[in-house]
Structures are given as C-alpha cells and as structure tokens.
Amino acid sequence: MTESTLRLALAIVLTLVWCLLAFKAWQRSRQRYKAALHDSDHTPDTGTLELAVFYASQTGTAAALAERTARSLPGYAAVARPLSATNPKQLQLFKTLLLILSTSGEGDPPDMAAPFLAHVYEGPPPDLSNLRYGLLALGDTRYRNYCGFAVRIENWLQRCGARPLFPMVLVNQQQTSALTHWSHLIEQHFQADATTFAADNTPATRQWRLRERTLSNPGSLGKPCHHLILESLDQPTARWRGGDIASIAIADLGIQRDYSIASLPDEGVIRLLVREHLAADGTPGLGSHWLTHTLQPGDTVTITLRSNPGFHAPDTDVPVIFIGNGTGLAGLRALIRERLAQGHTRNWLIYGERQRAHDQHYGNELAAWERNGYLARLDQAFSRDIAHDIQGHPMAYGPADNLAPPQTASCSGAPAGPYVQHVLHIQRTEIRRWLREGAWVYVCGSRTGMADAVDRTLKSIAGQALFDQLRRNGRYRQDVY
C-alpha cells in the first residue's frame, strides 16, 4: 500500500468516526429533547437545551407554521409543541424559544392556550433571564387589539427576564412578506434553511370540479345541509390528512371560507358537509349559499388544502373519543377513516344532530362501522326526537346546559335534548375509564352550544387535574367554528 493510499484510508476512517460521534451526539440531544418535552409534568434535569418551538393555534395556521419552522432547523432536532405543553421548569431548560402565537377575535388567546395561562402565566413568574426568544404573532388588523395575545405573552416573558432575539414579527392575515421576514430572521440566527421553510409552503391550491351535490337532511327541522363531492382537475392528486381544512375561494365574491374535509385522498375526492348559513335577519350566508346554490355540478372551484396539525389523529393505537355535532361529522369522519386505515379500532363516536329520521349524514357508514366493530361505541343524540317514558309519556331533557335526567314533558313547549353533553354526562363512568386508559378527545362542530358545553362537562367528569393534563399533553383537540 502506498503512503498516499494509507493517508486516504486514514482520512476516510477519521471522517467516519467523526460522523458517528456527531450522529451519537445528535441522537443524545434528541433523546434529551424528547424527554424534556414529552413529559412536561416531570421534566428531567437535563442541563441546558438549545431551542424549542412552541405554538398557540386556533385554526391550525400557527401550528402549521411552527412545524415548518421546526423542520427548517434540522440541526436542532426541534419539534413543534403546543404552548400549553410546557411548564416553568421546562422553560428554564432552553436557551432559546421560538413562539408562534395566534390571536383570535378581539385580542383573545386561542382556546388551546388556556392551561398555559392558568398554570404558567398566572403562576409565580419563573426566572427566565437566561432565555432568548423569537416571536411570530399572527393576527388580523380588522379586529381590535391586533396580535393582543402575542403582545401579552411578550410582556410576560420580559417581566420574567427573557430577552428578544429580534423585534416581534407581526403577521396580518398570513401576509407572505412578514412570513418571509420571519424565515430570514430564523436563517440569520440559527443557520436555518429558509428554502425548506419556503418550499414547505406548498399552498396545494388546485382546481376542483363539483361532481355531485345532494341534500343530506331532507325534511329536517335543521337548516339544509349538503354533501358535496369534488374531483381534482390536477394531477397528481393532492395529499392531505384527516382533520385538514379545505379553504375555498368564492371567486365571484372575493371571499375565502373554510370547511373540514370529510374524506381522505384514498377516496380520490374531497367530500364536504356544508350547512346553509342564515343570518338572524334571514340573509343567506355568502359562502355557504354560493356553494350550495350558485355552484353547479361540472363547475370548477379553487381550493387551498390547509394542514391542521393541531387536529391530526394520534399515530399510535391509543383509544380516541370523537365528539361532534352537525357538520362537525365531516372532520371526525376523516379522522376515523385514518384510524381505521391504520388498524386502530378503539374509537368512540358521540354525535349530535336533530332528528334520527332526517339527519343521517353518512348514516349507513356509521351503522356499518359500529356493526363491524370499527367503532367500539357509537352514541347518537337527536335533540328534537321525543323520548317516551315506560308509560308512553313524552320525556324532555332540560336546556342544553342542564345535565339533569329527562323529565316527563309538560304539555307546552317542544321537548329538548338530548345533546352530546347529556350523553357524556350519562356515560361519565365509561368516559372516565377511557380517559384513564389514555384516551384522546377530538371535538368538531359548533363552538357555541356544543364545544363549550362539552368542555364544561368533560371538566366535571375528568376533574380539573386530569382535564388540565389532557389539554397540556395535546390529548384534547378541538376544531370548532
């Protein structure tokens, strides 16, 4: 062997050893990172960690941006986590925090930030003087108190001694220039890959043709709900996951409206459940009227598929309780299909509509799933059906918020209930058992009336500590509107 061959062989061996050591160090840092993040209740004392990415998201945009940010930082083994998954001790472990925080409505925090506010923000201020942070604030200037929640968190961080790496980046209605500015700042400070961040922004905007539209609840007392089937005009067929959103450009009107996708890509089509919206004065909603009356089979429509990672199904075979009402079945159907494709059948669906005889969206499919054991349990609550006692007298539940058992109905007034929260209350022992067995909870449908009542009922069933743990650990997820 010549001297030069020997030198080359030595160089190769040294390079391989270096790569191995670097890989081991990366693996160790990832394990420490995971340990620190995944068990936020028992954060180990693992010394200082480089960087964490946290988000607070209402409709999934901040969560998706946080994931893009984390993916553009491969050297840091970062994963995006909900803000409520952290605690003061854990915050003190990191040198740097990247926060992507949405503000909803008039300066309000996203629902998912509630445990953080209750347990970290309201608690004794931790000493974060060793912490630097970068903050991306998502908001909408049409509302008062623009980016109010992010400003509130920034003030708190500074009160705790943390210092900004750069001035907070404010993004009005997902303005691209502000997002590009953010990715450049991340690139500058962390050698992040701005091209990964930009390339990740595959808007997946495509043309779809309405193949079929059917009224899904003929004869119902509820507002008409339509089942839409749309086929892609582009190849290859777009990809999306259960829980993702179809953002539809109502081109004639220059507006955009979001709908939960009820299907998965394996069906080759987008399925939607669209309820005709009516304002209090009877004026039809712009987007829903266009989709259910103006758009005709054969017409095309522009749809942007939006990832909604905060509402994706768990990858493991944990039990899942799906709760929803009305068009909320759309998002839940796609999630359940995804679980079934992975062979996970510990699914409990609790679903509310008005009348069993008329509101049977995907009714045959749900019945078949239950029959075949794909749904471990199916409980449906039809709020306008009249239950009868054993003497044949009509029974009525109290108002939506009253969880008392049903009473024999008085002659006047339509019997009300049950709603999904009544089912939860009646099944409380079983719900508690599922939760203790590690169940995740997904809620999809009406924010007012359903989601808030489910929230209160679940809290009363689980108890404050378990309820907070569910939210902190991302086991309680909502997609409500």
Ligand X SMILES: Cc1cc2nc3c(=O)[nH]c(=O)nc-3n(C[C@H](O)[C@H](O)[C@H](O)COP(=O)(O)OP(=O)(O)OC[C@H]3O[C@@H](n4cnc5c(N)ncnc54)[C@H](O)[C@@H]3O)c2cc1C
Q: From the list 35, 118, 165, 286, which residue makes contact with ligand X (rule: CB under 6 A)?
A: 286
Q: How far is the CB of 259 from ligand X (least distance, A)?
A: 4
Q: How far is the CB of 330 from ligand X (least distance, A)?
A: 4
Q: Kindly tell me which of 214 and 391 has the beta carbon lying closer to ligand X.
A: 214
Q: Kindly tell me which of 78 and 264 has the beta carbon lying closer to ligand X.
A: 264
Q: How far is the CB of 284 from ligand X (least distance, A)?
A: 7
Q: Kindly tell me which of 193 and 479 has the beta carbon lying closer to ligand X.
A: 479
Q: Taking CB under 6 A as the rule, which mask of x and - marks residues 362-401 in contact with ligand X?
A: ----------------------------------------
User: CB neighbours (10 Å) of residue 392?
Assistant: 6
Q: Kindly tell me which of 324 and 417 has the beta carbon lying closer to ligand X.
A: 324
| φ and ψ of 152, to 5 deg | -60, -45
Tokens 């929803």 sit on residue: 324
Q: Taking CB under 6 A as the rule, which mask of x and - marks residues 32-71 in contact with ligand X?
A: ---------------------------x------------
Cβ proximity of 43 and 93 under 8 Å? yes
> Rule CB under 6 A: which of 92-151 touch ligand X?
none
**258 near ligand X (CB under 6 A):** yes
Q: How far is the CB of 160 from ligand X (least distance, A)?
A: 33
Q: 205: closest CA among 233, 185, 164?
A: 233
Between CA 420 and CA 455 the distance in angstroms is 11
Q: Kindly tell me which of 108 and 187 has the beta carbon lying closer to ligand X.
A: 108
Q: If you count them, how many residues does the chain have?
A: 481
Q: Kindly tell me which of 105 and 438 has the beta carbon lying closer to ligand X.
A: 105
Cβ proximity of 197 and 183 under 8 Å? yes
Q: Kindly tell me which of 333 and 422 has the beta carbon lying closer to ligand X.
A: 333
Q: How far is the CB of 148 from ligand X (least distance, A)?
A: 17
Q: How far is the CB of 387 from ligand X (least distance, A)?
A: 28
> Rule CB under 6 A: which of 266-285 touch ligand X?
273-275, 277, 279, 285
Between CA 338 and CA 363 the distance in angstroms is 18
Q: How far is the CB of 223 from ligand X (least distance, A)?
A: 9
Q: Kindly tell me which of 187 and 276 has the beta carbon lying closer to ligand X.
A: 276
Pick the piece of the chain touching ligand X (CB under 6 A) from 21-29, 148-156, 252-260, 470-478. 252-260
| Interface contacts to ligand X, rule CB under 6 A | 59, 245, 256-260, 273-275, 277, 279, 285-288, 327, 330, 479, 481
